[in-house]
Amino acid sequence: MQKRLFLHATALAIVALAATNSVAQDNKFKIGLILPMTGQQASTGRQIEAAARLYMAQNGDTVAGKKIELIVKDDTSIPDVTKRMAQELVVNDKVNVLAGFGITPSALATAPIATQSKTPMVVMAAATSSITQASPYIVRTSFTLPQAAVAMGDWAPKNGIKKVVTLVSDYGPGIDAEKYFKERFVFNGGQVTESLRVPLRGPDFAPFLQKVRDAKPDALFVFVPSGAGAAVMKQFLERGMDKAGIKLIGTGDITDDDQLNDMGEGALGVVTSHHYAAAHPSAMNKKFVEAFGKANRGMRPNFMAVGGYDGMRVIYEALKITKGAGGGDALLAAMKGQIFESPRGPMFIDAQTRDVVQNIYLRKVEKLNGQLHNVEFDVIKDVKDPGKNK
Ligand code: DHB
């Protein structure tokens, strides 16, 4: 234990030391992008890397006289690996910014590295409310589960849904989704009869879904991370739960645009709340979706892609504002308070919380030009993370 503590302290000291050197770098500006490129969360990495590269292709790779270098690392979504990679990127590569972070445990494991080395850390995917509190150097461009889940807690009881069972992945974002959905739903007169949690790694949804089928609630509220939605949908439909009158609702992670079109017609009518849909009807989004598809053999961007694209925007702008001079603190200050139009709609990085303020949309799966899409039918504007008020 002593030895571990010592090693830990030494590692942090090295990271802190490296930070002082990292500012005075030649004409390069390095972004260390750590993502799950393989394993269960691989679609998150694929989407975010594609979006970051698209942003660079559209906006050039020279900003304020600095040549932008993107260093992509695959953490396989193992938090210890994420942390080690962040350390290496700071100490050896002397990156100016850390970015990516596919899942909450990876973001939380890396937070101390950002703090010690004073390196801005742009969280483009992970979405547990508390992440931004883990380091003053964290800025988030994805979303938070409380943000999305509360909207569903308002919509469901107004639409004939009174009894719900919740089913979430048993870690940060799932627990946030469960808690904030339930709180608002119960406040509005709904009843959550059971709260089920499935493991994050290698989940088997079958026994949980069987339980829900027997309980026959009006709806099943689901949160699973991006990439796991299709498996839930398949088993939900195979059990005939929709035919038994159980509606499927949740945050938009379940009808992930990366997978939605392959989920089949059984997905039609599923209502979710989220901050981004590929079908978002703005001129900017249409251009984004088209360019993203063109650069990636027809791939449809999902909410992870937009987090990566906007994260790059926040980094580029910070570099412009600081005119290529200044270290981590200056960059961080320039990231705070940014306000801009994203493919998702208007977006704001709250300077106090360093978290994203954005619209949350209610969407229903429908066919558009023969393809399954999340079609927005209502909006709650400028939603702050409700988790920050606790
Ligand atoms: C997280 C991961 C996801 O894939 C997602 O859709 C939401 C949250 C997370 O680990 O924070």
pLDDT of residue 199: 96
The protein residue with its alpha carbon nearest to ligand 1, atom 11, reads 126
CA angle 144, 271, 44 (to 5 degrees): 45
Provide the sign of the torsion angle of the four alpha carbons 387, 349, 278, 54, taken in this order.
Answer: negative
CA-CA distances (angstroms) from residue 141 to 67, 144, 202?
Answer: 23, 10, 27
pLDDT above 80 (res 385): yes
pLDDT of residue 389: 65
Query: In the structure, what pLDDT confidence band is assigned to residue 237 with cuts at 50, 70 and 90?
Result: very high
Residues 191-208: pLDDT tens digits?
999 999 999 998 999 999
Q: Are 304 and 48 in contact (CB under 8 A)?
A: yes
How many residues does the structure list for the chain?
390
Burial of 267 (0-12, 13-18, 19+ CB in 10 A): buried
CA-CA distances (angstroms) from residue 119 to 101, 126, 370?
Answer: 15, 18, 45
Residues 154-182: pLDDT tens digits?
999 999 999 999 999 999 999 999 999 99
Alpha helices, H only, 23-166: 42-59, 79-91, 104-117, 145-158
pLDDT of residue 19: 53
Whether 147 lines ligand 1, by a CB cut-off of 6 Å, is no
What distance in Å separates the CA atoms of residue 230 and residue 41, rounded to the nearest whole number?
Answer: 13
What number of other Cβ atoms are within 10 A of residue 198's Cβ? 20
pLDDT of residue 22: 47
Q: Are 105 and 172 in contact (CB under 8 A)?
A: yes
Average pLDDT in the 341-359 region? 98
Whether 126 lines ligand 1, by a CB cut-off of 6 Å, is yes
The protein residue with its alpha carbon nearest to ligand 1, atom 10, reads 103
